[in-house]
Amino acid sequence: MLPAMVKKPRIVIVGPGRLGSALTLELKQAGYRISEIISRKSPASRREGAALARKVKARASTCDNPHLDADIVWFCVPDREIAAAARQLALVIDWKKKIAFHSSGALLSDELDSLRRRGAAVASVHPLMTFVYGSVPSLSGVHFAVEGDTAAVDAARRIVRDLRGEVFTIPKQHKAAYHAWGAFASPLLVATLVTAEQVARKAGLSAAESRKKMLPIVRQTVANYELLGPAGAFSGPIVRGDAEIVRKHLQVLKKIPEARNVYRALARVALRHLPVRNRAKLKEALEL
C-alpha cells in the first residue's frame, strides 16, 4: 500500500461530464475529499467545472492551470481524449506515489502510459452503469471492471468497496468484448426502444405515446429476465412458433427497413439462443 493510501485518498476529477459529475458526488457522499475539478478552458466547460466544484467544496481549474494536489487523479474525459489529457498533465507534478485512473470500458490502462513512465501507478476503472445528465445512479451493487498496476488496482478496490460496489478484474485482451457487452446492456437497449418507437408510428402512435404505453411491458420484461432468466422471460410469436405472424411483421416493416433489419437480427438470435417452436417455419419466414 502506498503511504498516501492509509487514509482515504484525496481525489482530483478531470472532466466534469456525465460520469465525472455523478462520480464526484458519489465519492463525496462516501467520505472522500475531492480536491479539484479540472475542466477544459472553454467558458461552457469552466462553468460546468465550477458548478460541480462548488457542490463538493473543491477547487475548479482548467487543464492548462491544474494544481493536482491529491493522491489520485481520475480521468473522466471521453475515451479519445484520455491519452492526450494525461500527456498534458504528465509534466505538471512528480507522479511518484500518485495513482491515476481512467474509466474507459474499452481502452486499457496503457492510455495512461505517459503518467506510468513518470512513476504513477495506473488503472482503468469502469463502472458497468449508465451515467446521463439529470440522474445520479446509486453505485451500490454496481460492478466495476478494473485492470492495471497492482497499487492502482488495490486503491480502486478500496474506493469501490466504499462506494458499495463490486470489483472484478478484467484481462487486457477482454476489454473490448467486455465493453461491447456493456453496449448491449444500456445504449443499444435504448436504441432498441427507439426502434420500437419508430414502429409504433406505423400503428398511429406518437413517440411519446408509445413510450408511455410500452413502459409497463418493458419493466416487466426486465423483471422477468431477472427472476426467471432469458428463457423464462421470452414470450411472443417466436416462442409460440407463429410463423405467419412473423411474416406479417416483416411485411409491414418493409416500410421501415432499419427496424426490419433490427427485427430480423434479433429474431435470428432468438432462434439460436431461446426456446422456440416451429423453428424451421420461423427460419423460412425470416429469410424472406
Ligand X SMILES: NC(=O)c1ccc[n+]([C@@H]2O[C@H](COP(=O)([O-])OP(=O)(O)OC[C@H]3O[C@@H](n4cnc5c(N)ncnc54)[C@H](OP(=O)(O)O)[C@@H]3O)[C@@H](O)[C@H]2O)c1
Q: State the Cα–Cα distance between residues 275 and 117, nearest whole angstrom.
A: 53
The rounded distance, in Å, linking the Cα atoms of 178 and 171 is 10
Residue 40 near ligand X by CB under 6 A: yes
Q: Contact at 8 Å (CB) between 145 and 182?
A: no
* Nearest-approach distance from CB 280 to ligand X, in angstroms: 41
Rounded Cα distance between 240 and 256, Å, is 25
The residue range among 17-25, 145-153, 230-238, 245-253 that interacts with ligand X, by the rule CB under 6 A, is: 17-25
66 binds ligand X (CB under 6 A): no
Q: State whether the Cα torsion 79-83-87-89 is positive or negative.
A: positive
**Interface with ligand X, residue 279, by CB under 6 A:** no
Min separation Cβ 42 and ligand X, Å? 6
Residue among 36 and 154 whose Cβ is closer to ligand X? 36
- What is the dihedral angle through the alpha carbons of 227, 231, 232, 234, rounded to the nearest 10 degrees? 110
Angle between helices 279-287 and 243-252 (to 10 degrees): 20
* Longest Cα separation, the chain: 69
Asked if residue 283 binds ligand X (CB under 6 A), the reply is no
Please give the backbone phi and psi of residue 15, each rounded to the nearest 5 degrees, phi first: 105, 90
d(CA 282, CA 288) in angstroms, rounded, equals: 10
Binding mask 124-163 for ligand X (x = CB under 6 A): --xx--xx--------------------------------
Query: Does residue 9 bind ligand X (CB under 6 A)?
Result: no
Distance CA 89, CA 230 (A): 46
Q: Is 70 in the site for ligand X (CB under 6 A)?
A: no
Per the listing, cell 467486455 goes with 178
Could you say whether residue 175 binds ligand X (CB under 6 A)? no
Q: Is 16 in the site for ligand X (CB under 6 A)?
A: yes
Q: Does 109 bind ligand X (CB under 6 A)?
A: no
State yes or no: residue 114 binds ligand X (CB under 6 A).
no
Which of 30, 50, 51, 81 contacts ligand X by CB under 6 A?
81
Nearer to ligand X, 79 or 166 (CB): 79
Nearest to 36 by CA among 76, 6, 82, 2: 76
In whole angstroms, how close is the CB of 40 to ligand X at the nearest point?
4
Contact window for ligand X (CB under 6 A) among 15-23, 51-59, 110-118, 266-274? 15-23
* C-alpha cell at position 4: 498516501
Q: How far is the CB of 106 from ligand X (least distance, A)?
A: 7
Binding residues for ligand X, rule: CB under 6 A, are 14-20, 38-40, 42, 45, 48, 63, 76-79, 81, 85, 102-105, 126-127, 130-131
